[in-house]
Structure 1
Amino acid sequence: MPGSDDDLCFEEAMFDASPEESGAVEVPLHGRVFFGALTVATLLVSAMFARVAYVNVGRGAFYAARAEANVGKEIVLPAERGAIVDAYGASLVRNEPIFSVFLNVGAFLKKDPEARLRFIDELQHILPPMAIGGDVGTIVANADLERSARILLLQGVTVETAIALKGMNDEAVVIDNDFRRDYLFGPAFAHLLGYTGMSDTERRIEGKSGLEASYDAVLRGQEGRKLMLRDAALNVLEERMSAAPLPGATLETTIDAELQQYVYERMREGLRALGRTGGAAIVLAPKTGAVLSLISLPSYDANIFTLPGKNAERAQLLNAALHPLFNRAISGLYSPGSTIKPMLGLAALREGIIDPTTSVYSAGVLELPNPYDPARPSRFLDWKAHGWVNLYSALARSSNIYFYEVGGGFGDRKGLGVARIESYWRNFGFAKKTGIDLPSEASGIFYGPEEHERRTGNPWRVGDTYNISIGQGDMMVTPLRLLSFIGAIGTGGYMKQPLLMKAVRDAEGNITESASPRDILDFSDFAKEMHEVRQGLEAAVVKDYGTAHKLADLAVTVAGKTGSAQIQNNAKVNAFFVGYAPAENPEIALLVLIEDAKEGSLNTVPIAKDVLRWYYEHRLVKSE
């Protein structure tokens, strides 16, 4: 039957059938209702387009950058830092597995401004700005966001801190595996090895001082990268290793770890017995420049900078009045005292001021006429009356009056004078750095007449020349430079660059870099003069009147020079011993310095003796 309901289509039902026929009840649509619905629809569509416009125009750059970051971003994986070993392969550091705190940059940026402020406030209650090197907002602003999708906030956290951070339950905070540098011998090696810490801009671990800083490029290794694929909600869809981290190279050093520990303990014991705190000691091989031991006291435990929860100790260390972070051996500038007399001897012999047997009488005091008050002559003291002395006995006895006359002249004897003394000082390298592979080495200082007058307001007088002739007043040198000079006298005038790096080996054990001896100064043309000066340095030990005679009963021959320099208007005395052994063919050169020594250079000789004995018994005898 045509027109059956089963064959009724949607269009037919709406337009062909009358209301009566179809059984439908028609309700007329009121005009205002239609207009209202149209208005709502228009507003909804407009709002949708406005939101799209806001996202794409108003905050388009922000969302575009965030979207790009969320789709795929690499995370930097820290590389294990390279090993540092001594000359015999003994480990000086190790890498301890730890947990570190990172900021997930994407999750942080996803937060609205108010949420970010709340997050920063909560985080900094757990990790104060002092602990992480600034407030989180500044760290993010200064960070290289192209380098990694997360930023290192703090290396190494305590269990309590980790629990508190986990309690935040915020994906912007990540606690992940890392490494902490562990310095196995603490204060004994602090000024050699240095320590690691957070870089200011890249937020990565780097060497901050010592060998850790000098060889940071080879020790740090190569960071790995892991690609994190995420959706717009920052859910991780896939993790893919882009590049595995490569461990740093092994730094083989010239350091003799057993000797270093012995020298450190012996110096500490010696200072404690004197009630003193400051000093330095250096042992090097003068033929090669290899540094076997280098001590600066007071010292510190470098682990304070790598262990978590040590903020108070770090602050105390940085503000300590005794400056334990300061490396006195290479950065300290000291008046050399009588240890400069070998240089005066070389210069005076070369200039013909004296010959080795020229005699000067030391009555214990030298008096210069005072033209302004003849009744009150200027007096320059010797440390004792020595009688007649020549070059050999003057060096052995450390006669001041002999070197007053050699340097500044007296009566009919014309001395070197300040200009020639300064010239030899500079020609022998005292004003230059040695180039040791440690940061912050200082250069020596010599204030000539013009600078002296500018600084003091007084003209240069012969008394000032007398002072510099015995290593006091307007000259200062580092202990390392002084030792390098004396060691070179023992080896014939070839001054080697002091070095701590022996070789660098990659992860496969291949040598990628090695050190070889390098001359930084050659004064071998002073062979004749050095022969005479060496006799004086040997006499200081073998002669019963020598200032270092206590070394005479050692099983190894020694040549050396003691020295005392008065400081702070003669209120204090810094004491030196510097020498080499065996005297006839030096294998080591040694310097001992004690700041504010009670009895001058006499306090340095016992320490030097014990170090030389140890070296003879543990190294020279074994090598024969």
Structure 2
Amino acid sequence: MLRNLLRKNHVEIEPEEILLDKEAAAKLEIPIERTGIFTIFIITIMILTLFLARAFWLQIWQGAYYALKASENSVRFYYNQAPRGIVYDRNNKVLTLDVPSLNLLIIPADLPKKKEDLDNWTQQISKILGKNNAEVADFTKNLNKNSTEPISLNLNLDQAALIELETHLPNLPGLFISKETKRNYPEGSYFSHLIGHTGKVTVDDLKADSYYSLSDFIGKDGLEAQYEKELRGVPAKIAISVNSDNTVLKTLMAEEAQPGNNLILNIDGDLQKLLTDAIYAKMVQTNAPGAAAVVLDAKSGKILSLVSLPNFDNNIFNNNLRNKTYQELINNKNRPFFNRVISGFYPAGSTIKPFIASAALAENTIDPNYKIDDTLGYITVPNEYNPEITYVFHDWRPQGFVDMRRALAVSANVYFYEIGGGYKNVKGLGIDRIEKYLKLFGFGPPLGIDLPGEAGGLIPNPAWKKAIKHENWYTGDTYNVSIGQGDVIITPLQLVSAMAAVANGGTLWQPKIVLKITDSNNKTIEEFKPEIIRTNLVDNGKLEIVREGLRDAVTEGSVYLLKDLPIKVAGKTGTAQVYSNLNKKTNAWFTGFAPYEDPQIAIAIVIEGAGEGSTAAVPVAKEVFQWYYNQNYDKLNK
């Protein structure tokens, strides 16, 4: 009953009534203190204010700064040097290669700014690379700290250094590893004076050509320098991703490199090595400090071989020991970097005589069959101001009565004194005409070979002597020039070019190393045709007399060692006096051509301080002529 009474007095509220009756809804709410609501409101406003203030600080007040930092610390673009073109010999044998190389590069602007951080960075890098701290510190000290252009810190990373670097690079800002190529010379020193070498760009290189960056290599000598623009190619574009701490995150290739163009040479690699080995053996035998030799195509001027000794291994410029080795070579008194073929100044000695004979025939100053008296082995000339003073000009031995052919065969000095400077009833050419014809044959100014560093020789004359020595010109000076002594200076390249002109009937060709340029698909871009410097130097009929005399030098003269070759050759020896530390020495010369009936190749050899040309230079030439015969056996024996 009581329960029923309670049920009758109980007021039940349906859910829908809550939405319709405020008073009923109030019966279900739990009251909250007003102070609590206010506290929540204040905290919310403070948080929003802080967010707004921070956003204002970042977006408005520091917006420019962080925008700059974001742009610097995202992706940067650099250029990576292209693989250089390949150099081949005339038989398509590879003389240069591009091999993969992993190099460690620095971005100077990204190095640690604080001294203690940089010192710690230096210690870590030095330990990884096996360098001392001072070496790395000196390197970084000289960098432009505002530059973002990479510069090489270490070339050709070895595997151990590479593994350790890969582990530590995330904590070493300003560094990244670049995948590049380095130049390699498979044959090393055999072709060093021909091909030359590459080296790091210098400040002057950067100023001269905007193509290069600080980490690039450029041709420094030889064909590498002469044909730099053809060999260098188009660089790759690489993208480097870095974080805000200047740590490199990723390196990507944006644009592929285009390899440089190739060079096909006129050089025969087998002949180059044979000639080098032959000369080196003779240098060892005679204790010679240096030597040079060059072989060319007598009918085009194409250089088949060019050897200068001592030489050097041009691979030394591609490793991290370069500086030490380079200094050792620089300090070598025999100058291994010096290209003696194109820049060596040598007294011509008797090798000048074929050209004096050619000049006398061209000027009709003597009949080639006229015999000059050389029975005494000398001539005497009185002083024009004091007859009691007599000058004696010696031959190397009495030769009897000699005509032009015989004089060339036995190298009779007296004969050339007389046809050069005159004596008794022989008028002689005189220095002016001697100078004229020697320059026509290519002596004096450079010939224009496609190698850097070519030097010209010297044909002295009265004006030169007056200006340089402050002395008058005498007949004795003309006599000395006529036998290649005194102040006559030539290069081996000039001599071989002049001998080729005698052999081919009077055409002086411009010497050329490179045959053609091809692209990476072996398509010919440019082919170099033979170029004539001068032609018709002397009538070929008169040059034939000179050639006969040079052939007689083989059959009955100083070049007798070549008599038993399977082909007929012609040539002239020379023994030129030089003076070093007041001790008289002689350079051993030979120049000649083959085959005698139809000359194809010409050669010039000089071995410094080796004595007689007949015993030092001629044996080397014999190996070359034998090689030529073996290579052309079928053609020569038709």
2:465 to 449, 452, 471: 452
* 1:58-79 deviation per Cα after TM superposition (whole angstroms, max 9, x unaligned): xx7xx88765443331132332
Following TM superposition, by how much is the alpha carbon of 1:6 offset from its aligned partner in structure 2, in angstroms? 10
Query: How far 1:234 sits from its partner (Å)?
Result: 4.3
Deviation of 1:329 after TM superposition, in Å, equals 0.7
- 1:153 aligned onto 2:158: no
Residues 574 and 600 of structure 1 are in contact (CA less than 8 Å); yes or no, is this contact kept in structure 2?
A: yes
Which of 539, 561, 568 does residue 572 from structure 2 map onto? 561
* Equivalent residue number for residue 78 of structure 2: 75
- Residues 130-161 of structure 1 show CA distances to partners (whole Å, capped at 9, x for unaligned) of 98998334344697x5xxx5323343244566
In structure 2, the partner of 1:37 is none
Q: Give the conservation status (yes or no) of the 8 Å contact 1:99–1:156.
A: yes
1:51 Cα offset (Å): 13
Question: What is the distance in 2 between the residues matched to 1:137 and 1:500?
Answer: 44
| 1:355 partner letter | D
Q: What is the deviation of 1:485? A: 0.9
Distance 2:383 2:134 in 1: 61
Aligned with 1:527 (options 532, 540, 550) = 540
Distance in 1, matches of 2:137 and 2:428, equals 58
Determine the C-alpha separation between the residues in 1 that align with 2:271 and 2:635. 14
Give SS of 1:213's match.
helix
Say if 1:236 and 1:176 are closer, same or farther in 2 by CA, change over 3 A: closer
2:140 pairs with 1:136: yes
Counterpart pick for 2:563 among 523, 533, 552:
552
Matched with 1:588 is 601
- Closer, same or farther: CA 217–576 of 1 in aligned 2, 3 Å: same
Deviation by residue 1:244-269 (Cα, 9 ceiling, x = unmatched): 11222222111111111111111111
- Match for residue 262 of structure 2 among 244, 250, 255: 250
Q: Deviations over 1:409-451 (max 9, x none)?
A: 1223322222222222223331222221111111122332233
How much does 1:117 deviate?
Answer: 6.5
Q: Are 1:336 and 2:339 counterparts? A: no
- 1:35 match: none
Q: 1:483 aligns with which of 478, 488, 496?
A: 496
CA distance in 2, matches of 1:5, 1:454: 129
- Which piece of structure 1 moves more, 529-538 or 111-120? 111-120
Deviating more after overlay: 592-601 vs 401-410: 592-601
* 1:29 matched residue in structure 2: none
Note if contact 1:129-1:135 (Cα within 8 Å) is conserved in structure 2.
no
1:444-523 mapped onto 2 (5 Å cutoff): 444-523=457-536
1:210-359 to 2 correspondences below 5 Å: 210-234=222-246, 241-359=253-371
Contact 2:422/2:429 (CA < 8 Å) preserved in 1?
yes
Deviation at 1:297, TM superposition (A): 0.6
The structure-2 alpha-carbon separation of the partners of 1:51 and 1:115, relative to structure 1 and needing over 3 Å to count, comes to farther
Match of 1:186 among 188, 192, 198: 188
Query: 3-state DSSP class of the match of 1:410?
Result: coil
Report the CA distance shift for 1:198/1:65 in structure 2 as closer, same or farther (over 3 A). Answer: farther
Match of 2:267, as an amino acid? I
Q: State which of 366, 373, 376 in structure 2 corresponds to 1:361.
A: 373
* Structure 1 position 560, deviation (Å): 1.1
Deviation at 1:531, TM superposition (A): 2.1
CA-to-partner distance for each residue in 1:598-617, whole Å, 9 max, x for gaps?
Answer: 23443211111121112111
CA contact (8 A) 1:131 1:154 kept: no
* AA aligned opposite 1:446: I
Q: How many correspondences in the alignment?
A: 588
Give the superposition deviation at 1:177.
2.5
Partner Cα separation in structure 1 for residue 158 and residue 323 of structure 2? 12
Return the TM-score normalized by structure 1.
0.84
Deviation at 1:300, TM superposition (A): 1.2
Q: What RMSD over aligned residues (CA atoms) do the two structures have, in Å?
A: 3.6
Separation in structure 1 between the aligned mates of residue 322 and residue 417 of structure 2, nearest angstrom: 53
Distance 1:9 1:249, change over 3 A: farther
1:195 aligns with 2:187: no
Amino acid of the residue matched to residue 420 of structure 1? Answer: R
The amino acid of 2:224's aligned partner reads E
Q: 1:406-421, aligned counterparts within 5 Å?
A: 406-421=419-434
Bigger mean CA offset, 300-309 vs 521-530:
521-530
Residue of structure 1 in register with 2:174 after alignment? 172
Q: Name the SS of the counterpart of 2:455 in structure 1.
A: coil
Query: Counterpart of 2:183 in 1: which secondary structure?
Result: strand
> Match of 1:392, SS?
helix
Q: Secondary structure of the residue that 1:455 maps to in structure 2?
A: helix
Going from structure 1 to structure 2, the CA distance change for 1:417 and 1:74 (only over 3 Å counts) comes to same
Which residue identity lines up with residue 354 of structure 2 in the other structure?
P
**SS in structure 2 at match of 1:208:** strand
Task: Name the aligned partner's letter for residue 356 of structure 2.
Answer: L
Between 158-167 and 309-318, report the one with greater CA deviation. 158-167
Instruction: Look up the SS of the partner of 2:176 in the other structure.
Output: strand
Q: Is the 8 A contact 2:362 2:538 kept in 1?
A: no
Residues 1:424 and 2:428 are matched in the alignment:
no
Q: Do the aligned partners of residues 5 and 241 (structure 1) sit closer, same or farther apart at CA in structure 2, a change above 3 Å counting?
A: farther
Alignment correspondent of 1:604 = 617
Deviation at 1:566, TM superposition (A): 0.7
Q: Shift in Å at residue 453 of structure 1?
A: 3.2
Amino acid paired to 1:181: R
Deviations 1:581-624 (A, max 9, x none): 01121111111111111234432111111211121112344676
**Aligned-partner residue type, residue 176 of structure 2:** V
- Compute the TM-score of the two structures, normalised by the length of structure 2: 0.83
Identity of aligned residues (%): 35
Structure 2 alignment gaps of length 5 or more:
1-21, 40-48, 207-212
Q: Which moved more, 1:82-91 or 1:426-435?
A: 426-435
Q: Show the counterpart of 2:553.
A: 540
Give the residue type in structure 1 aligned to 2:238: K
SS of the aligned residue for 1:288 comes to coil
For structure 1, list consecutive stretches of 5 or more residues without a partner in the other structure.
15-21, 26-40
Q: Distance in 1 between matches of 2:90 and 2:133?
A: 41
Q: Distance in 2 between matches of 1:193 and 1:101?
A: 27
Q: Is the 1:434–1:497 contact (alpha carbons within 8 Å) kept by the matching residues of 2?
A: yes
8 Å CA contact 2:575–2:612 kept in 1: the answer is no
SS of structure 2 residue aligned to 1:276: coil
Alignment partner of 1:90 is 2:93: yes
Distance apart, 1:526 and its partner CA:
2.7
Quick one: distance in 2 between partners of 1:604 and 1:139?
52
- Deviations for 1:192-226, whole angstroms, at most 9, x for unmatched residues? 11112211143302222112222222222221112
**Following TM superposition, by how much is the alpha carbon of 1:13 offset from its aligned partner in structure 2, in angstroms?**
4.3
CA distance in 2, matches of 1:392, 1:358: 10
SS at match of 1:135: helix
Change (3 A) 1:283 1:103: same
With 231-240 and 280-289 compared, the bigger mean Cα shift is at 231-240
* Cα distance in structure 1, aligned partners of 2:100 and 2:37: 83
- CA offset at residue 238 of structure 1? 7.3
Kept in 1: contact 2:575–2:611 (CA 8 A): no
Q: Whole-Å Cα distance in 1 between the matches of residues 471 and 163 of structure 2?
A: 67
Change (3 A) 1:50 1:233: closer
1:95 Cα shift? 2.5
Which SS does the other structure have where 2:627 is aligned?
Answer: helix
SS of the equivalent of 2:497 reads: helix
Instruction: Answer with 268-277 or 318-327: which moved more.
Output: 268-277
